[in-house]
Structure 1
C-alpha cells in the first residue's frame, strides 16, 4: 500500500523531561526505531483512510437529515466528535488532524460533484 507523504510518521510524539535532548525509541530486531515502522505506518494509514470514508458517508447522511445545517457547521460538528473520540479510537493527534483534513477535502469534493451534476 502506498502511503502518502502527508500522512503522519509519528502519531504519538513523545517528549521526555530533562535538560539534554532526548527522544523516545523502541528496540525492534536489534535496532532503535523512533515513530512507526513502514508496516505499522501502512496499517495505521489503512485504518485512518477507512475512517475518512466512513465519516464522509456519515456527513452525507447527516446533510440529508439536517438540511438547515450548513456544510461548514456539519463538518465542524463531525470534527468535534472525532476529536472527542480520539482516545477511544486510539488515534494520535497528528492522525486526527490528517483525518479531519481528508474528511473536509473529500466531503467538499463530493459536494462539488453533486452541485455540478445538478446544473
Structure 2
C-alpha cells in the first residue's frame, strides 16, 4: 500500500510560506526582495485559509515523548520556540501531525474498503491485516508515527469505515 505525501508536502510548503511571510512582516524592509517561492495571491489565500481554519480533535494524542536525560535529579525537557520555552509540540506541529494521521486514516479506510469488496473479508479481519502492515512500517522506522498516534489512526479508520458503511446504498435494512 503506497501512502501519498502530497498533502504533507503541501502543508510543509504552506508552513514555510507562512513562516517566511511572518518573518518578512517582523523584519520589514530588511527582507525586501526575498521570495517565498511563488507570487500567486490565490495560493497565499488558500494557504492562509488552510492555516487558520483547522481544529485538532480532543481525542488526538497531544503529548510527544521528548526523551529522557539520565541523572539523579529530576529534569524537565524543553526547547526554545520563538523565544519561549515549550515542553510539548506547537499548535503548528500538532496540526501537521494530526493532518498526516487523518490523511493516513482516510487512505487506510479506502484501502480496507477495497479489500473487503474484492476479497470478501469481514471489516474486522481486513482492518486487522491493514493495521499489522502499518505497524510493521512504523516499528521499522519507515513511518514516523508514535504508538499513540497509530492507535488513534486505527480508531479513526474504524470510524470512517463504519460511517461509509452507514451511507452505503447496499446496506441491508432490518
TM-score past 0.5 threshold:
yes
Q: Which structure would you say has the larger RCO, counting Cα contacts within 8 Å and 6 or more residues apart?
A: 1
CA RMSD of aligned residues (A): 2.0
| Number of aligned residues | 118
Q: 1:79 aligns with which of 125, 131, 137?
A: 131
Q: 1:37 aligns with which of 90, 101, 125?
A: 90
Q: 2:162 aligns with which of 108, 112, 118?
A: 108
Q: TM-score, normalised by structure 2?
A: 0.60
Shift of residue 60, structure 1, vs aligned partner: 0.6
Local SS of the residue matching 1:91: coil
- 5+ residue gaps, structure 1: none
- 5+ residue gaps, structure 2: 1-53
Shift of residue 43, structure 1, vs aligned partner: 1.2
5 Å matches for 1:1-119? Answer: 1-67=54-120, 69-86=121-138, 87-114=141-168, 117-119=171-173
